[in-house]
Every structure is written in C-alpha cells, then in structure tokens.
A and B are shown apart, each in its own frame.
Chain A
Amino acid sequence: QVQLVQSGAEVKKPGASVKVSCKASGYTFTGYYMHWVRQAPGQGLEWMGWINPNSGGTNSARKFQGWVTLTRDTSISTAYMELKRLRSDDTAVYYCARGGVGATTPRDYWGQGTLVTVSS
C-alpha cells in the first residue's frame, strides 16, 4: 500500500535551517510529483512547492523562492524539503503529499506531518 512517512518533529532556533524527509513506498517514486504543504497552528493550508522526482525539476510558491530547497534521492525513494533562515512564524506542521503524474494538485496520499517549532 502507498505510504509517505515523514521524519520526526524538530525544534529550531530562529535563523537556523530545517530539513524534513518524506520516504515513499508502495508505488513508483519517480512516477508522481511530490508536493510540500504547511499549516501553521490554527491556520489554513499553504502550498510551498513541488518536485518532479523523475527529473529533479522543482517549482515553489513565490513567497518561498530562494528560501526553500526541494530535493530527492531516487535510490531510497525519499523527498526532502529544506527551509532556511527560520523565523518564529515558520512554526507549522509540514506535509508532503503525492501529486499526479503531472504538476497538478496534491492528491490522495499525504505524509503524517512533521511539526517544526521555531523558538529561541
């Protein structure tokens, strides 16, 4: 069965970086785009970007350009999201979500979420 398993919760200081992993199983990792979405406490969903695991090509929301790095390691079917220069308002649950075969929208399988807390 399809599963996306994310790395564990993180506590970071302002200005630091965080790298969240998302290990996929149960399907061909390179066959579907992977999206990253975050949700601050009590807030809505915010799309961060996608990666095409086949080509490594990425696209991110304008807000996150130059600030987020999306990568993948096809040998272990894992996608990564690195966010730099963290601020307190980056405290959120970060989700990976499988997309379609093209760059459409997040679809049917989501990771369990990774809570990133930014606090001095």
Chain B
Amino acid sequence: QSALTQPASVSGSPGQSITISCTGTTSDVGGYNYVSWYQQHPGKAPKLMIYEVSNRPSGVSDRFSGSKSGNTASLTISGLQAEDEADYYCSSYTSSSSVVFGGGTKLTVL
C-alpha cells in the first residue's frame, strides 16, 4: 500500500485560509469515508482534528474542516493562527482493512 500524497509544505499568513490535499486511490480515500486528519507539534503525539472525512472531535476548533472529492481529501484551516503551525497528516482506511498515512505536510504561519 503506497502512502497517500500530501504536499511537503504549505504556508499562510495569520487570518488567511489554507488547504492541504491528500490524494489516494479508489482502494483507500476514494473508496471509503474513513479519512482522518492529525496535527502534530514537535515532540508531541498526533492529535485528531478530523475523522470520517468531515467530522470534528469535540474540542477541535471549527476553523478546521474536511472534505473529499473522488480520490482526494482536503483539510482547510481558516483564520490561521500562530499555534496552527505544525505538521499535518492524513490517513485512510483501505480495501485490505488496513490504514495508510500521508507523508505529512509542514504548515508554516508566516
């Protein structure tokens, strides 16, 4: 199972919106609504931000939203804040009942 494809880095200024893409295949992202997004700050465990494509766990800011079109899922962060600067990973359930992660995207808040 190949890793999902994410951009290596994205950046934005405070207050702006950014979108991180996560591209897979019909055997993972395109075939199931089980895409999750995680935020990871240096030295910390990942934190779930979105599950099942577009659902936010309680306590996660509504500035974070998820969507999917075909084989590509997206995470949008609106109203960028300094504390959003982190690494972001997507994951998807697959047709072999396994999980595959994206390579990760480093978000820089300028």
Which A residues lie at the B interface, using CB under 8 A? Answer: 35, 37, 44-47, 49-50, 59-62, 95, 97, 103-108, 110-113
Contact = CB atoms under 8 A, between A and B. Distances in A.
B45 A44 contact: no
A93 B27 CA distance: 28
B58 to A, nearest CB: 9
A59 B1 contact: no
A107 B36 contact: yes
Given A106-B91, A107-B36, A61 B103 contact: no
A50 B99 contact: yes
Contacts of A45: 38, 40, 46, 89, 91, 101, 104
B45 A105 contact: no
A35 B99 contact: yes
Interface in B17-72: 34-36, 38, 40, 45-48, 51-52, 57
B91 A95 contact: no
B101 A62 contact: no
Given A45-B38, A47-B99, A59-B98, A105 B1 contact: no
A61 B98 contact: yes
Contact of A95 (B46, B51, B99): B46
Contacts of A59: 96-98
Contacts of A49: 98
Given A44-B101, A45-B104, A110-B46, 10 more contacts: A35-B99, A44-B102, A47-B99, A59-B97, A60-B98, A62-B1, A104-B52, A106-B48, A108-B51, A110-B47
A105 B33 CA distance: 11
Contacts of A95: 45-46
